[in-house]
Amino acid sequence: MKAGIASIRKELTGNYSGTEIDSLIFLIFEKLKGYSRTQFLLSKDEFLSDVERQEISQILARLKNHEPIQYIMGETEFYDLPFYTVPGVLIPRPETEELVQWIIQQNQIPEPTILDIGCGTGCISISLRKNIPDSTVLACDISHVCLETTRRNAERNAAEITDFEYDILDGNLEIDFPELDIIVSNPPYVCQNEKNRMEKNVLDYEPEMALFVPDSNSLLFYSAIADFARIHLKKGGRIYFEINEAFGKECKKMLQEKGFQDCHLKKDIHGKDRMICAVH
């Protein structure tokens, strides 16, 4: 296996950093052999079969085309839970785990009703359902692929949630919502003018619909969700957003102008304004 690892490292050098290559090598063998990190470290003298070498070759070809490893493997981990990942659905990010943790830590309601708007893989809604006992969790998206992926992930993690199709930008949709204690969303927030600073694996493979907003209306989804929250969020209920670090102050001002209280910006582990919470 040592020769195989050396070969992978050589193939990926120039396309990925050394740290990224180390991570990719482990993920490849975790998928291929079912190894834990300890097993991986202890098994480097094992031989690879011809079938395994062929599979690695196919994975490397896709990686060299900058396809995300999460799509190649068909799964990823989020908040210590396994999630299916498929093309057309945004890949869960580590910073979103911080948003989930913030909600869990702040929640003091015994049986909260939670809505995740733009659920994608279901990573937020499912993680909240698994970690907030007796919660009622709803998840919506406009994408059928996202909703199907959320259903599969809910089943995989034995998480009882209610998912449904909903377009937050279409104010004419009639759905009977319960009173909500928490609304959370990680909506599209990348401006078109930021494309030239983004990685090729994101631009070429992840869904534009889940990423981008017009330069002229960077708070498009935040404003719509805030208006929705004014109607459906209980008094004292909380709204949580993951945000573009460049628009934290603007998002906070928008929420305050719509009557929300105790607006609080929170930095991620990299020191960037990445989350905001406000009280109805």
pLDDT tens-digit readout, 58-113: 999 999 999 999 999 999 999 999 999 999 999 999 999 999 999 999 999 999 99
pTM of the model: 0.92
Residue 44 confidence (pLDDT): 65
Distance of CA 262 to the CA centre of its chain: 26
Residues 6+ apart with CB under 8 A from 27: 69, 73
Please report, rounded to a whole number, the percentage of residues in the chain having pLDDT higher than 70: 95
pLDDT tens-digit readout, 235-277: 999 999 999 999 999 999 999 999 999 999 999 999 999 999 9
**Residue 19 — φ and ψ, nearest 5°?**
-65, -40
Q: What is the rounded distance in angstroms from the CA atom of residue 97 to the CA atom of residue 119?
A: 14
**Residue 20 — φ and ψ, nearest 5°?**
-65, -40
**Residue 62 — φ and ψ, nearest 5°?**
-70, -40
Residues 6+ apart with CB under 8 A from 273: 243, 245, 248, 265, 266, 267
Class of residue 59 by CB neighbours under 10 A (exposed 0-12, middle 13-18, buried 19+): buried
Both tokens of residue 23? 């991570």
Q: What is the rounded distance in angstroms from the CA atom of residue 268 to the CA atom of residue 280?
A: 24
Angle between helices 220-232 and 248-257 (to 10 degrees): 30
| Residue carrying structure tokens 């928490």 | 182
Q: What is the rounded distance in angstroms from the CA atom of residue 98 to the CA atom of residue 242?
A: 9
Both tokens of residue 275? 């989350």
pLDDT tens-digit readout, 159-203: 999 999 999 998 666 788 889 999 999 999 988 888 888 888 888
Residue 108 confidence (pLDDT): 93
Is the separation of the CB atoms in 174 and 190 below 8 Å?
A: no
pLDDT tens-digit readout, 72-82: 999 999 999 99
